[in-house]
Amino acid sequence: MGVNLYDVAYGVEKAIRESQEFKQLKQLYDQVNNDAGAKKLFESFRNIQLSLQQKQMMGEDISQEEVEQAQRQVALVQQHATIAKLMEAEQRMSVVVGELNQIMLKPLEELYGSMDQQ
C-alpha cells in the first residue's frame, strides 16, 4: 500500500503550526493587529505591495511616483520596531517554506532533470 500524500501534507501543516518560526510570526502578527496605528501602517504597506505585484504580473509599467511611494512606505514600516520584526519573521518563514518546497519537489526535479540528460 502506498503513502497517502494528503496525510503527509496535513502532518507538515501541523509541524509548521507547531514550529518556532510560525509561533513567532503569529505572535508578531497579533501584536501588529492589536495596535491600531501599526495595523493601519502595515495594511497600507501591504496594499501598495500587492498593487505593484499585480501590475508586474499583468505586464504594466510601474511609474516612478509609485516606486517612490513604495520606498517611502518601506522606510516608514522599517522604522516601526514591531512591524520590522514581523517582516523579518515573515522572511524567515518564507525561507522555511521555500526549503520545504524544494524538498517536496525533489523527486519531480530528479525525474524531469534526468529526461534532459537523455
Each domain of the chain, given as residue ranges in start order, spans 5-116
Residue 42 CB partners (closer than 8 Å, separation 6+): 32, 77, 83, 86
For 5-116, the fitting CATH number among 2.40.180.10, 3.40.50.300, 1.20.1500.10, 1.10.3370.10 is 1.20.1500.10
Share of the chain above pLDDT 90, in %: 74
CA distance 82 to 42: 10
The torsion angles phi and psi of 49, rounded to 5 degrees, stand at -60, -50
Indicate the SS3 state at residue 57: helix
pLDDT in tens, 25-66: 999 999 999 999 999 999 999 999 999 999 989 998 888 998
pLDDT in tens, 69-85: 889 998 999 999 999 99
